[in-house]
Amino acid sequence: MGIGMLVFNISLLKSEVMFPYFVKPDQPAFQEKLSSKEINVLYYNKPEWVDKSVFNNCEYPCKMISGSKLDSANFVVFHGPRIGTKTKPPNKLRGQVWIMHGMESPHHYYNDLTKWNNLFNWTFSFRRDSDVLSPYSGFQLHRNNTTINIRKQWKSKDRNTAWMVSNCHTPSKRMQYMKSLKNSIDIHVYGGCGQYKCTRSNENNCMELLQKHYRYYLAFENSLCIDYITEKAFKTYTFSPSTVSVVRGGSNYSLFLPPGSYLDAKDFENGHALGKAMKRSFDNASDFFSWTKYYTKSTSVMSTWCHLCKHIHHSESYKRIYSNIKFWLKDLPRSGCKTPK
């Protein structure tokens, strides 16, 4: 991540004594100097949304290649969620570093990864205890004077709450929660789970609807898992700063979003109580927009891959092996995901 990007936390890593997910050999006392040599990084089962250009313009030179030919690179990335249930681990070559990449919650991994113990060296995900952190977004310090205009936009809106969603049956039971919330506040549901239409292929038009009409946007995650905060929670900050996010997930949102800029469902006893709080904010919502004086959302995704590339160039400083990758993924023996009551 770039120096200027803020993710409102200093990562609090879990105790290796309490949660022995990995074995960590002795580390060298210093990092090697920057090497100009380009290093190949093999993405073994690359998903379509990962572009081969992600390492372009990084400070450290890396080149992404894809395929199943393991002897073509010393660093191999596996997309954890798409490791099939019948997929057996390939033979790991001596000296290779294997990296598990995943931006989905543990509920969306096909394989429980039991057979992949003692193979992965690094993790690369949204989890704050990953070896390389890859958040969905972040913020940068940026002073400006747009807050007054944003407050005017809020007061001019003529609709209460919008939600754009197509996955109706999720572990977080967000549809059931929305129905409870709907008893106390008007909600327009767009997409496959509602009566209003706004196609993903025309996202700009969808965001214009938010900016022009809606005071609130429901950013409900499909899973209530530790640190799992996806692009949903960041949408309003980018496309409609005058719309307030109402979040529901398993994260501590104060570590990721500007303070006072959102409503968190977990702070309320139930959906009805949340809806009443949203109504109370109609006439006085100035506090929601104070963040715009100091922060702007960062749109850079490349920096996380550049961070991985830097890690690769200093791999001797980050030696470890995950003896139980399943335990790390699910944050066992405690559970990293919650089942709503």
Tell me the per-residue pLDDT of 189-226, one tens digit each, with 9 for 90 and over: 998 899 898 876 677 788 899 999 999 999 999 999 99
Q: Are residues 181 and 228 in the same domain?
A: yes
pLDDT confidence of residue 146: 62
Preceding omega of 20 cis (within 30 degrees of 0): no
pLDDT confidence of residue 3: 39
Q: Are residues 170 and 286 in the same domain?
A: yes
CATH number for 293 = 3.40.50.11660
Which stretch of 10-14, 99-103, 235-239, 270-274 has the lowest confidence by average pLDDT? Answer: 10-14
Q: Are residues 59 and 150 in the same domain?
A: no
Contact predicate 279/182, CB 8 Å: no
Give the DSSP H/E element, type plus range, for residue 189: strand 187-190
Compute the chain's Rg from CA coordinates. 22
Q: What is the pTM of this model?
A: 0.85
Q: Of 283, 253, 282, which is closest to residue 265 (Cα–Cα)?
A: 253
pLDDT confidence of residue 182: 93
Q: What average pLDDT score do residues 124-151 get? A: 85
Beta carbons within 10 angstroms of residue 85's beta carbon? 8
pLDDT confidence of residue 14: 40
Distance CA 276, CA 243 (A): 17
Residues of the chain with pLDDT > 90, as a percent, come to: 65
Count Cβ atoms within 10 A of the Cβ of residue 226 and give its class: 0-12 exposed, 13-18 middle, 19 or more buried: buried
pLDDT in tens, 274-308: 999 999 887 777 789 888 888 887 756 568 999 99
Contact predicate 81/225, CB 8 Å: no
Q: pLDDT at residue 10 above 50?
A: no
Contact predicate 174/220, CB 8 Å: yes
Dihedral angle sign, alpha carbons of residues 49, 13, 229, 214: negative
Q: What average pLDDT score do residues 23-43 get? A: 69
Q: Are residues 168 and 242 in the same domain?
A: yes
pLDDT confidence of residue 270: 92
Band (15; pLDDT cuts 50, 70, 90): very low
Q: Are residues 191 and 305 in the same domain?
A: no
**Domain span holding position 285:** 138-298
pLDDT confidence of residue 21: 61
pLDDT confidence of residue 12: 37
- In whole numbers, what is the pLDDT of the chain averaged over residues? 87
pLDDT confidence of residue 297: 78
Residues of the chain with pLDDT > 70, as a percent, come to: 86
Contact predicate 184/279, CB 8 Å: yes
Q: Are residues 195 and 257 in the same domain?
A: yes
DSSP 8-state code for residue 259:
T
Q: Are residues 176 and 288 in the same domain?
A: yes
CATH number for 32 = 3.40.50
Q: What average pLDDT score do residues 213-241 get? A: 94
Q: Are residues 131 and 144 in the same domain?
A: no
| Token pair of 268 as six digits | 């309320």
Q: Are residues 285 and 314 in the same domain?
A: no
Q: Are residues 82 and 157 in the same domain?
A: no
Q: What average pLDDT score do residues 260-273 get? A: 94
Q: Are residues 281 and 155 in the same domain?
A: yes
For the residues of 38-58, what is the DSSP string, one character each?
Answer: -EEEEETT--TTS-TTTTTT-
Contact predicate 218/163, CB 8 Å: yes
**What total number of domains does the chain contain?**
2
pLDDT confidence of residue 16: 39
More confident of the two residues 97 and 144: 97
Contact predicate 14/316, CB 8 Å: no
Q: Which of 29-33, 38-42, 134-138 has the highest mean pLDDT?
A: 38-42
Q: Are residues 71 and 44 in the same domain?
A: yes
Contact predicate 326/123, CB 8 Å: no
Contact predicate 227/328, CB 8 Å: no
pLDDT confidence of residue 67: 93
Band (39; pLDDT cuts 50, 70, 90): very high
DSSP 8-state code for residue 13:
P
pLDDT confidence of residue 9: 43
SS3 state at 115? helix
Beta carbons within 10 angstroms of residue 176's beta carbon? 12
At residue 168's C-alpha, the angle toward residues 226 and 275, to 5°, is 75
